Amino acid sequence: MISIDSSYSYNKMKYTNRCDINSNLTHFMTSGQKKLQDKEPIKSDEACAIRVLYPTKVPVIVERYNNESDLPTLNKKKFLVPQEITMSQFLTIIKKRLEIGPTKALFLLINSRTLAPLSKTLAEIYGEHRNTDGFLYITYSSQEVFG
């Protein structure tokens, strides 16, 4: 695991031409490419910086659903995730970090409204769902199981 050194304080970095970064981004996207072009350009300096520094990773914010009581919260919520991994792999990683029992079921919601299709790659999801601030927002929540 790579932890980011505090010297990478991106908000101190200056970007004069944000458009370049956005066109750069488009270049790196694989299957989400077309969608990204439709989208508004990334507005946050932070996400732009991340995309430039880690062109093969997507910035994701993972939060616990605000009404969730059973699942623990994550220590850290910002991740840079390899764009080629699938949502199922990403879910495995999150579950590992939550340190929950093997039978506990949960589900991921993108932007609090879309169910994450586990067969898709992060790049695809990012292309379709990223926020205008350049981050992909994902919440996790316990799967309903009772009858």
Partner 1 sequence: MSEEILQFLPFKSFVNSSFWHKLAELKIDVLKLSDTPETVHGFYSSFQAKSHLLEVDYSAFNSEFTPPKNCFPVQGTIYNKNTIEEFKNCNKVDLVNLEGQKFIEDLKNGKVLKDPWLLFRFFILSFADLKCHKYYYWFGFPCPMSPTFTKNTNTISLKECEELSEDSVLEAFNGIPEKSFFVLTKTEGHWIGKALADYNGEPDVYFCFCDPVEVGLEQPSWLLRLYAYFLMKTYPALHSKSVKFLGLRFSSTSDISSSLIWNLVLPGDSKSPEEEIKFVGWETNQNCKMGPRIASMADSMDPAKLAENSVNLNLKLMKWRLLPDLNLDVIAQQKCLLFGAGTLGCGVARNLLSWGFKNITLVDSGKVSFSNPVRQSLYKHEDALSGKQMKATTAADRLKEINPSAVTKGYVMQIPMPGHAVGDSMRETITKDLETIEELVKNHDVIFLLTDSRESRWLPTMLGAFYKKIVINAALGFDSYLVMRHGSSRKENEASGETDYGDLKCVNGQNLACYFCNDVTAPGDSMKDRTLDQQCTVTRPGVSNIASSYAVELLVALLQHPLRENAPAYFQLTEKKVKTSVPEGILGIIPHSIRGMLCNYENILPAAMKFNQCVACSEKVLAEFGQTHFEFLFKAFESSKYLEDLTGISQYEDLENDIIECSDSDF
- Chain residues binding partner 1 by CB under 8 A are 1-4, 6, 8-11, 46, 54, 57, 67, 69-70, 76, 78-82, 85, 88-89, 91-93, 95-96, 101-109, 111-120, 128-129, 142-147
Whole-number Å distance between alpha carbons of 5 and 96: 24
Least separation in angstroms between residue 141's CB and partner 1 is 8
Least separation in angstroms between residue 131's CB and partner 1 is 10
* Partners of 139 in beta bridges: 63, 109
Least separation in angstroms between residue 145's CB and partner 1 is 4
Which two structure tokens, joined as six digits, stand for 50? 């991340």
| C-beta closer to partner 1: residue 19 or 115 | 115
Question: CB neighbours of 133 closer than 8 A, spacing ≥ 6?
Answer: 42, 43, 44, 46, 47
| C-beta closer to partner 1: residue 4 or 15 | 4
CB atoms within 10 A of CB 73: 10
